[in-house]
Amino acid sequence: MANGQLTYICPECRGIVQPGAAYCMQCGASLQPAGVFPGSGRLTVTRGNLAQPEYVLTGQRMTLGRAWESSLLLPEDDLTTSRRHAEIYFEGGQFIINDLGSMNGTFVNGRRIQSEVLRPGDEIRLGNTLFRFEGGAEPAAARPMAQALGSYELVNTIGTGGMATVYLGRAPNGALVALKVPLPQFANDSEFAARFQREIEIGQQLDHPNIVKVYGVIWDNAVPVMVMEYADGGSLRSWIQPDSNLPYGHLCGVIGQCCNALSAAHNKGVVHRDVKPENILFNSAGLVKITDFGIARLVARKTITAGRILGSPFYMSPEQAQGSPNLDARSDIYSLCVVAYELATGQPPFLGSNFVEVLNKHIREPPVSPAQIRRDMPPGIEQAIMRGLQKDPVQRFASAPELAQCFTYY
């Protein structure tokens, strides 16, 4: 709390935002639907050197740890905490904290726990950092899970993001599908409705083995529900570990399949604009499935979000970070090379204390060669990644197939 005022945190980029703001000025994320307002739960720091004195809890899952991708970063020099230490999420009207297999444990009111329902006033200890949990009204989250949506039986909840909840559904013939349902706060948001409709249209246009299929849309009480292919093998995020020693054959296989998917999209005039590990899924056979064309745009069509930066800052091309409305395939190639860099080394090329700093590095600073982090990197892979990360799009690969050729010999 600063000067007696609650600190508001963007759930997407974790930057400070103004009370009542509709969008985060740093990353462009919509704020109100994620529950960034008083009345949600919050964590107050009572001991420890963290970036903010308070953190608002929302309906989204929050990870706590020393790893850079954590929702709440614990002090890097506190080695009594783990890189992925704990998580807090909202389910069944309650906030729940889970330990993620940390070395030294997660403690609630002095007792080591594996999973615990949080209550107002609870003290949480992670290493040398202490928090006090302050509960409030239910956060803005997904609507309670029904038994069915249209003719689809609902099996469970796959996850909730800032815009929608994805459920696992079973069709009448027994086939499993993913059902993407907008959060209720978007019911009267015309811009979101246009974006959601565009994602459906683009998804139905793209028919490729490495792209999650969009089968169509059903309606539930005037709410559109996107029916999609279910990729049951998790996301690429789970492959990325600090001090990565992922075999180069695996890295090349993943990047090659991503290139195939992006090439199919680019050939249809579609630029993804949000290529990142969380949007690279796998099916049970290990086949890559790129998903989430929610902020994609057709090159020939003027985007409905022109003038605002959308995407994930760690993976943005320099031109995207500058808000250019004229992104093309080379922007996606840059983002995919960021993914390749992170997959090989365990970290993205640019880190920073805030996301404005990260974007500025994308725009101005040359990346450290991944071969300086991972000494056994074949020169061909190092050269391909560095070429893909050139600031000037003209200096990058002109197409995804051209990039893919550099990842076929290992």
Backbone dihedral angles phi then psi of residue 336, each to the nearest 5 degrees: -65, -35
| Separation CA 199–CA 227 (nearest Å) | 12
DSSP H or E stretch at residue 383? helix 379-388
DSSP H or E stretch at residue 132? strand 129-134
Q: Residue 302, Cα to own-chain centre: how many angstroms?
A: 25
Question: Active-site positions?
Answer: 274
Q: What is the largest CA-CA distance in the chain?
A: 59
Which of 324, 158, 297, 147 minimizes the C-alpha distance to 228?
158
Q: Write down how long the chain is.
A: 410
What's the sign of the alpha-carbon dihedral 284, 285, 288, 292?
negative
Q: How far apart are the first and last CA of the chain?
A: 52
**Per-residue tokens: 226:** 């996107």
327 contacts 335 by C-beta, under 8 angstroms: no
What is the full DSSP assignment across 341-370? HHHHHSS-S---SSHHHHHHHHHHPPPPPH
Neighbour-count burial of 343, counting CB atoms closer than 10 A to its CB (0-12 exposed, 13-18 middle, 19+ buried): buried
What is the three-class DSSP state of 191?
helix
- The torsion defined by the Cα of 106, 111, 113 and 115, in degrees rounded to 10, comes to -110
Strand partners, 365: none
Q: Residue 139, Cα to own-chain centre: how many angstroms?
A: 20
Alpha-carbon Rg for the chain in angstroms: 21
213 contacts 230 by C-beta, under 8 angstroms: no
| Separation CA 399–CA 201 (nearest Å) | 24
| Separation CA 107–CA 130 (nearest Å) | 9
